[in-house]
Structures are given as C-alpha cells and as structure tokens.
Amino acid sequence: MKTSKPESAQTREPYPFFTTLRVRFNETDAQGHVNFAWYLNYFDVALMEYMHSVGYSYEQMRADGFDLLYIDAHARYHSPCYFDEWLRVHCQLGHLGNTSMRFDFQIFAEAEQRLVCTGEIAIVVADRESQKKTRVPDRFRHAIGTTKVS
C-alpha cells in the first residue's frame, strides 16, 4: 500500500507580510541557538508590525478603548537559528471571529530560506477599561478588509 507523505513544512509558501530581525546574543542559550521562549517574542514583534502595516496599530486600538489579550500561543520548532542570523518573521491573520482572532506565523532564516519555526497566537479583544471581551473593532475589520482570512 502506497501512502502519500504530507507536504514538508520546508516547502510551504511564506505568508506575504514579514518583518526582519537579527538574533541578538542574549536570545541564545547554553546550546548556542535561540532559546525556545524567544520565538513567542518574535511572533509578537511581527504581529505589532503587521498591525502597523494594515493601518491600525496597537496604539490606535488602545486609544479607541480596546485591548488584545493573548489567550493561547504555540510554536513548532523546525530548525535552530543562531546569534547574528537574520530572520524573516511572517505573519498573517488566520481566523477572525466576533470577539477573537488567530494570527499564524512562520520564521525563516533569511540567508538559507530555511524554515525555523511556525506557530500561532489566539487573541480575545477586550474593553480596555473593564477587560471584558468585546467585538473586534470595526476599524480593525476595515483595515484588514483585503486580507485573506480562512
């Protein structure tokens, strides 16, 4: 019986939006590669840059009385990266609900186009004062209006 192999994560097409980061020495561990916890920080940087790129920044969202509460985050590690490597951190809106959204991430080592990490962050939108969940702001929905969402 012949079975088909799942498509390798290495061959996935990168998401269109990305920002670049250089690995700093303090982000590496005793093994010499980036410590696993830093990847969630890289995701956060890419998300904030994504929001700027669509024209509705986190600062604007907070000024409008909303906040983002990260409720779940996952990272899958595909290959290590090291001090002074340039990374491309790709971000896309993967799901948009009534009061929540999910962003998907891919990190590539820029020089080799090597997939380093994939993951996601699930977010609930909250009223900034009460911290109770609320509808995703219309300004954000409008800003991402041309963005493909699954």
Structure tokens at 72: 């779940």
- pLDDT tens for residues 77-118? 999 999 999 999 999 999 999 999 999 999 999 999 999 999
- pLDDT tens for residues 2-36? 433 334 444 467 899 999 999 999 999 999 999 99
Is the whole model's pTM more than 0.85, yes or no? yes
CB 118 within 8 A of CB 89: no
CATH number of 13-143: 3.10.129.10
Torsion angle (degrees, nearest 10) of CA 79, 83, 87, 89: 80
Domain spans in the chain, listed from the N-terminal domain onward: 13-143
